[in-house]
Amino acid sequence: MTVTRDLPLPSQEDTTREGRRLAIEEAAARVIADPANSRVAARLLAEEIAAEAAAHGVRSFSESVAATHEAGLVHDDLAEFVRNNATVLDDLTDPEGDARFEYFGLRTVYDRYLLRHPVTRGVLETPQHFFLRVACGLAGTVAEAAELYGLMTTLSYLPSSPTLFNSGSRRPQLSSCFLLDSPRDELEAIYERYGQVARLSKYAGGIGISWTRVRARGSLIRGTNGHSNGIVPWLRTLDSSVAAVNQGGRRKGAACVYLEPWHADVEEFLELRDNTGEDARRTHNLNLANWIPDEFMRRVEADSVWSLFDPKEVPELVDLWGAEFDARYREAEAAGRYVRQLPARTLYGRMMRTLAQTGNGWMTFKDAANRASNQTARPENVIHLSNLCTEILEVTSDAETAVCNLGSVNLAAHLQRGGVDWARLRSTVATAVRFLDRSIDRGFYPTPQAEAANKRWRPIGLGVMGLADVFFALRLPFDSPEALALSTRIAEEMALAAYGASADLAGALGAHPSYADTRAAGGVLHLDHFPAADPVHPEEWALLRDRIAATGLRNSLLLAVAPTATIASIAGCYECVEPQVSNVFKRETLSGEFLQVNRYLVRDLQERGLWTPQVRDAVKRADGSIQDVPSIPQDLQRLYRTAWELPQKALIDLAAARQPYIDQSQSLNLFMATPTIGKLSSMYAYAWRAGLKTTYYLRSRPATRIAQTTVAAEAGAAPPPLDVVPARVAVLDPEAVACSLENPEICEACQ
């Protein structure tokens, strides 16, 4: 006899939620057929989030803040502000706000940003409550909260992830990045730096740190009469520390170490990320960057010798740049104080090999960074490094850890029929500057060195995202003269608005404490360092200069183009100033795997009746390229080229044309599917000659691949394995370096 047991029947609510989840999965899976399914999936997910919040008694913004405050997640000041203004704040939430999300963006918000009950892990706020909570955390009045919330709910502007994570929280660490000077060449100073890095990384800050002051391998240690093991063992310890501090489980700790190429350990430094060799001399979590003086690049071009020094013997070189560095370097060289010498091109070739094999060893340029900076008017104020993502350039010292608060304008949200809405763009920039400045005062600082520097200089880094969306919408190929002109105009309009807003703040609240130590105090603005620049608004620049002379500036630095990887996903646009990496690709994140497609391309093909299953399969087989799909017209093939199919010279030229209007720097990735030493040598020499301050990753293969199993193989051909990617090619041929440098125009990367 069969024994049966009564099983509880699912409730109507459980049935509804399960059906909704299945519908979300189905809609998300159909995004490639029609990108409109992304909005369908997002709408269903928004309903799911609202139901989850309601299960915890949260239906309004004031209820959300009350619940998160009771759970110990938000600051008492925020809770009081919301209680005192509950009705009007509840009425601010936009019922249409969630409809603006793409599925991937809303899923990212749900998984990573919404505050959750510490026990049940259910959400205690909806996406609109989240945006309004961030705005209230930075606001002094309801009107201010409404102004910032209005930009965020329309996805027109978003602060960086630390601000989104922590605004209004118990411990509001709002800053994105921290830059630490090289520790003094003393045991206690090095361990003190380790502690500072750990505390900063704990609260979601990306770390940049120089290591150039630390003595080289073989250097005499007078206290023990022994010899130093060099920088590698110290960096191994730093590597382990960074890996151990995981920023509360929300994202991994991350750091980048900068070294000048005259340091005698530079060759071992360039091997730290290699996959071969002695593991005890490798670091797997640190990123690496070269902090390169012009003198090195000149010697590479001239094919002359380069001298390596122990910084213990030439400590003055760390704090010098430009002509002073050149003179002291040559004096030390002539005096025979070097450890050894080698051809400059040999070391440069080793840098290129590191880039080709690991994507690391970023090329950043010391003299360009210092020459144009508003902060380096006095000799004692020196920029020694950039940050984790190479867009922040600020002075550092043993007593000051440079800090930057970031946010980015979504250019795609500022389009009107026929072009950019310039008035709205300027209005958005002015609002963003005011709230980025506010974050300096509202933020929690993990170390006193960070707080001292941030409040002394008050730097901010306002950037952009969605430049590729603008080019697609306006039918401008990335390498067209029209795209170059528009990109430059956007940078100029933003600079005018940002400097104007900072002058307004200075008039109302006072200039930043170090204003007298800046170039602006002497009447020199960042644009003045670029005589070849041809601004669209010269008269307005003249008026702005007079205005700044009268009021000063609230912020020593204002503009920087950060990568925006996560916030661009939330906003549903392409990252910062990047070209697309693929027209169809699978994105893997902490939230899972998401199939994404270029909706601009699909719209164009749908209008022409060409987005057929056969074309979709052809694009998948080509890893998101449409260049070899015969049925796609040539004008679309040119417009929708991927980063791998664009001449990298165009990306460098775009960045160089923007640079006069960006007083910090730009996270500029460069792309080469199969890099060689010769191609890279030419490309980075061109970037240096173009006046770029920094570059970022070398991307040598697509970040993601389409699952080929979803595509029927062409007749007689098997689909490639899922793990096949273009090989990293690193041909270390000294003649390739010489050829590419002496004949730079032949490099296919730059054509």
Assigned domain for 166 exists:
yes
Give Cα 65 distance to the centre of its chain.
30
Give, in order, the Cα–Cα distances in Å from 92 to each of 49, 53, 431, 620, 637. Answer: 19, 18, 18, 43, 44
Q: For the chain, how big is the Rg over CA atoms in Å?
A: 26
Among residues 572, 477, 492, the alpha carbon closest in space to that of 539 is found at 492
Hey, which of 211-220, 279-288, 600-609 has the most confident mean pLDDT? Answer: 600-609
Query: Which of 368-377, 634-643, 739-748 is the least confident region?
Result: 739-748
Residues 6+ apart with CB under 8 A from 394: 179, 375, 383, 402, 403, 404, 453, 457, 459, 557, 664
| 389 a catalytic residue | yes
| pLDDT attached to residue 185 | 83
| Alpha helices (runs of H) in 335-479, residue ranges in sequence order | 344-358, 366-371, 422-442, 448-457, 467-473
Q: Residue 575 corresponds to which amino acid? A: E
Assess whether 363 and 425 both reside in one domain.
no
Q: Give the CATH number for residue 257.
A: 3.20.70.20
| pLDDT attached to residue 732 | 47
Assess whether 466 and 559 both reside in one domain.
yes
pLDDT at residue 445 above 60? yes
| pLDDT attached to residue 702 | 43
Q: How far apart are CA 691 and CA 652, in angstroms?
A: 10
Q: How far apart are CA 629 and CA 750, in angstroms?
A: 25
Domain of residue 653 covers 579-750
Query: Which of 46-55, 81-90, 197-206, 478-487 is the least confident region?
Result: 197-206
Give, in order, the Cα–Cα distances in Å from 559 to each of 290, 436, 523. Answer: 23, 11, 19
Q: What is the mean pLDDT of the chain?
A: 89
pLDDT tens, 14-65?
Answer: 667 788 889 988 888 898 889 999 999 999 999 999 999 999 999 999 999 9
User: Tokens for 307?
Assistant: 């001298």
Q: Residue 222 corresponds to which amino acid? A: R
Q: Residue 578 corresponds to which amino acid? A: E
DSSP state letter for 554: S
| pLDDT attached to residue 87 | 97
| pLDDT attached to residue 469 | 98
Q: How far apart are CA 550 and CA 544, in angstroms?
A: 10
Among residues 209, 160, 168, the alpha carbon closest in space to that of 81 is found at 168
Give Cα 553 distance to the centre of its chain.
25
Assigned domain for 7 exists:
no
pLDDT at residue 5 above 50? no
Q: Residue 305 is inside which H or E element, if any?
A: strand 305-308
Average pLDDT over residues 81-95: 96
CB contact at 8 A, 644 and 701: no
Q: How far apart are CA 269 and CA 106, in angstroms?
A: 41
pLDDT tens, 290-348?
Answer: 999 999 999 999 999 999 999 999 999 999 999 999 999 999 999 999 999 999 999 99
pLDDT tens, 613-629?
Answer: 999 999 999 999 999 99
Assess whether 542 and 645 both reside in one domain.
no
Assigned domain for 392 exists:
no
- Higher confidence at residue 135 or residue 358? 135
Q: How far apart are CA 36 and CA 34, in angstroms?
A: 5
pLDDT tens, 162-209?
Answer: 999 999 999 999 999 999 999 888 888 988 888 888 888 887 678 999
Domain boundary (137, 153, 169) is at 153
CB contact at 8 A, 394 and 388: no
The greatest distance separating any two alpha carbons of the chain, rounded to the nearest whole angstrom, comes to 100
| 271 a catalytic residue | no
Q: Choosing from 391, 492, 493, 575, which is the catalytic residue?
A: 391
Query: Which of 263-272, 308-317, 563-572, 696-705 is the least confident region?
Result: 696-705
Q: Choosing from 389, 404, 573, 750, which is the catalytic residue?
A: 389
| Alpha helices (runs of H) in 33-75, residue ranges in sequence order | 36-54, 61-70
Residue 282 binned pLDDT confidence (cut-offs 50, 70, 90) = confident
Residues 6+ apart with CB under 8 A from 612: none
CB contact at 8 A, 258 and 208: yes
| pLDDT attached to residue 703 | 41
Assess whether 95 and 105 both reside in one domain.
yes
pLDDT tens, 641-675?
Answer: 999 999 999 999 999 999 999 999 999 999 998 89
Among residues 203, 183, 430, the alpha carbon closest in space to that of 311 is found at 183
Assigned domain for 383 exists:
no
Assess whether 569 and 599 both reside in one domain.
no
Among residues 363, 403, 372, the alpha carbon closest in space to that of 387 is found at 403
| pLDDT attached to residue 273 | 86
Assess whether 170 and 314 both reside in one domain.
no
Residue 226 binned pLDDT confidence (cut-offs 50, 70, 90) = low
pLDDT at residue 349 above 90? yes
| pLDDT attached to residue 746 | 40
Q: Has this prediction a pTM greater than 0.85?
A: yes
Residues 6+ apart with CB under 8 A from 262: 293, 296, 306, 307, 308, 309, 317, 329
Assess whether 626 and 532 both reside in one domain.
no
Assigned domain for 52 exists:
yes
Assess whether 364 and 414 both reside in one domain.
no
User: Tokens for 452?
Assistant: 């001292």
- Sequence length of the chain is 751
Mode of pairing for the β-strands spanning 670-671 and 698-699? parallel
Assess whether 145 and 165 both reside in one domain.
no
| Number of folded domains that form the chain | 4
Assigned domain for 306 exists:
yes
CB contact at 8 A, 366 and 291: yes
Assess whether 617 and 564 both reside in one domain.
no
Assess whether 515 and 619 both reside in one domain.
no
Assigned domain for 381 exists:
no
| pLDDT attached to residue 708 | 37
pLDDT at residue 706 above 70? no
Q: Count Cβ atoms below 10 Å from residue 198 Cβ, excluding itself.
A: 17
The residue whose two tokens read 């071009």 is 301
- Higher confidence at residue 528 or residue 596? 528
Q: Choosing from 360, 381, 387, 410, which is the catalytic residue?
A: 387
Residue 243 binned pLDDT confidence (cut-offs 50, 70, 90) = confident
Residue 230 binned pLDDT confidence (cut-offs 50, 70, 90) = confident
Give me the sign of the Cα torsion angle 273, 275, 276, 282.
Answer: positive
Assigned domain for 380 exists:
no
Residues 6+ apart with CB under 8 A from 34: 602, 606
Residue 241 binned pLDDT confidence (cut-offs 50, 70, 90) = confident
Q: At residue 225, what are phi and psi to the nearest 5 degrees?
A: 60, 25
Assess whether 284 and 308 both reside in one domain.
yes
